[in-house]
Amino acid sequence: MQQHPSCIPRILHGRSASSSASSSSSSSEFAVDHLVIGGGVVGLAVAARLAESHPNASTLLLERHPQFGMETSSRNSEVIHAGIYYPNDSLKTKLCVQGNHLLYRYCKSKNVPFSRIGKWIVAVSADEADYLSTLQQKFDKIKHPEQEQLRFLSASERELEPNVKSTEVLLSSSTGIIDSHALMGALESDFLSTGGMVAYRSNVVGIEYSRSSASYRIQLEGSDEAIEARCVVNAAGLSSDRIAGLLLDPLPPDYTLHYCKGRYFCLRGNQPLVSRLIYPVPEKNLVGLGVHCTLDLAGKLKFGPDTKYVTDAANLSVDDITEDELDQACRAIQRYLRGIRREDLCMDYAGMRPKLSGPSGSFRDFVVAEESGRGFPGFVNLIGIESPGLTSSLAIADRVEALLHHPATL
């Protein structure tokens, strides 16, 4: 893949640049109908959806790294969530529930590896068991494409996982795991095969709106030329507030991101302690879902992520863990799992949550907003797309396409 920062068309893949330019422009070298900023799972899903639904329009995806998925989309738990924990009328619930259904269908049709192994949410006290009942009642009220229900396990069913300590277990059978890299590969391939264009090593550093031409001018680092776009989708993950701030001045305070690091632990010797996803009852303020136990498709166990607010989004080191933090994580796991010794835990990797709520903040929903109301028609901000963003990616893509092309249906 070559980089030609001063000559935008030559860094494009897929459809050739000249045939893809949609409208002529006097001020820009290159013009497209849709421009997506960010090649994580969400940007790829949005780009693929726009290209598929609008074959006569041109769609360009810009990503600053040399390939897709080099940030949060490849540093997560790879769990296909069921949409259990958030308020029922929130986008997090709605898009996760729809996304779960769409993702399983997509994985089957595109041969993306996944496994619907199910998840146990484990109560270890009467209070926690009460919380699980509340969760079950809340979940029952959600309209589900497949009528998915949570159910409590019998005592004999709970013996299937002898290392799990529990007073009650709530089973989510629609929770599973996925190969997120393969998913992104499939989305990129779909996008390119429907005429989409990708420009890697393309760092967006400026955005201007021209009311006269009703289009956006996108400036890339190291390039004198701008790209003109009729519609822009900001799917820049950890930098999505900064990208929004290139246009919105001042940036709305509720668009400002906080960074919350999540570190993962592996088990020395990879002992096969469980064969399902095991989650504790989540933390009270939903900063994270608790230090849970997941498996990847190769059967490797991992624990985490923990939660630690930081100021630097690029701080993905796992060497900064203190003895106290390791003790705390170990105790959190030992509450629901037998056979865990502190000396068997080792550091694995870390991911960074792009959170709209701060350390003491309350629940914040995904921002999926078309900014006509602020004077910027055709500009969509996706901000605070933390978990369950991987699960929700295909549903977010549907919503963005609707916001841009048939908003009355929403």
Ligand X SMILES: Cc1cc2nc3c(=O)[nH]c(=O)nc-3n(C[C@H](O)[C@H](O)[C@H](O)COP(=O)(O)OP(=O)(O)OC[C@H]3O[C@@H](n4cnc5c(N)ncnc54)[C@H](O)[C@@H]3O)c2cc1C
> Interface residues with ligand X (CB under 6 A)?
37-43, 62-65, 70-73, 76-79, 81, 202-204, 235-239, 243, 262, 305, 351-353, 385-391
Quote the least distance from Cβ 73 to ligand X, whole Å: 3
C-alpha torsion 286→86→119→43, nearest 10? -90
Quote the least distance from Cβ 236 to ligand X, whole Å: 4
Quote the least distance from Cβ 194 to ligand X, whole Å: 19
The smaller minimum CB distance to ligand X, of residues 222 and 375, is found at: 222
Evaluate whether 390 touches 115 at the Cβ level (below 8 Å): no
The residue whose Cβ lies closest to ligand X is 389
Torsions phi, psi of 260, nearest 5? -125, 110
Evaluate whether 114 touches 179 at the Cβ level (below 8 Å): yes
CB atoms within 10 A of CB 233: 31
Quote the least distance from Cβ 279 to ligand X, whole Å: 11
The smaller minimum CB distance to ligand X, of residues 70 and 153, is found at: 70
Closest CA to 198 of 19, 376, 337, 10: 10
Quote the least distance from Cβ 155 to ligand X, whole Å: 29
Which amino acid type is present at position 62?
L
Quote the least distance from Cβ 235 to ligand X, whole Å: 5
Closest CA to 21 of 188, 214, 331, 230: 230
The smaller minimum CB distance to ligand X, of residues 200 and 376, is found at: 200
The smaller minimum CB distance to ligand X, of residues 152 and 310, is found at: 310
Quote the least distance from Cβ 289 to ligand X, whole Å: 9
The smaller minimum CB distance to ligand X, of residues 378 and 388, is found at: 388
The smaller minimum CB distance to ligand X, of residues 62 and 186, is found at: 62
Quote the least distance from Cβ 7 to ligand X, whole Å: 18
Torsions phi, psi of 345, nearest 5? -85, 130
Q: For the chain, how big is the Rg over CA atoms in Å?
A: 22
The smaller minimum CB distance to ligand X, of residues 54 and 292, is found at: 292
The smaller minimum CB distance to ligand X, of residues 168 and 239, is found at: 239
The smaller minimum CB distance to ligand X, of residues 136 and 219, is found at: 219
The smaller minimum CB distance to ligand X, of residues 202 and 357, is found at: 202
Quote the least distance from Cβ 133 to ligand X, whole Å: 25
Please name every residue paired with 337 in a beta bridge, in sequence order, or none if there are none: 164
Q: What angle do CA 363, 284, 241 make, to 5 degrees?
A: 30
Q: Distance between CA 331 and CA 340 in Å, rounded?
A: 9
Quote the least distance from Cβ 290 to ligand X, whole Å: 12
